[in-house]
């Protein structure tokens, strides 16, 4: 949902970009999304939000 590239995701989890690509494709297939944008929209409406808002 953050819009990170495969390279950034791979670095965060210490895995290869190819591994990220495989998992992203599997997720897209399971939620029947055609692209990452559709997947982000799906996630926003189906997954709980764990984001904290900064205090002003």
What is the b/e burial string over 22-42, where b = at least 16 CB atoms within 10 angstroms of the residue's CB?
A: eeeeeebeeeebeebeebeeb
DSSP 10-40: HHHHT--HHHHHHHHHHHHHHHT-SSHHHHH
Position 14 scores a pLDDT of 97
Enumerate the domain spans of the chain: 6-46
Is residue 56 predicted with pLDDT exceeding 50? no
The model's pLDDT over 4-55, given as tens digits with 9 standing for 90+, comes to: 999 999 999 999 999 999 999 999 999 999 999 999 999 999 988 765 555 5
């Amino acid at each position: 949902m953050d819009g990170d590239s495969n390279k950034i995701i791979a670095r965060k989890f210490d895995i290869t970009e190819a591994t990220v690509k495989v998992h992203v494709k599997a997720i897209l297939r399971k939620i029947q999304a055609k692209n990452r944008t559709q997947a982000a929209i799906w996630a926003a409406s189906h997954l709980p939000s764990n984001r904290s808002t900064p205090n002003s």
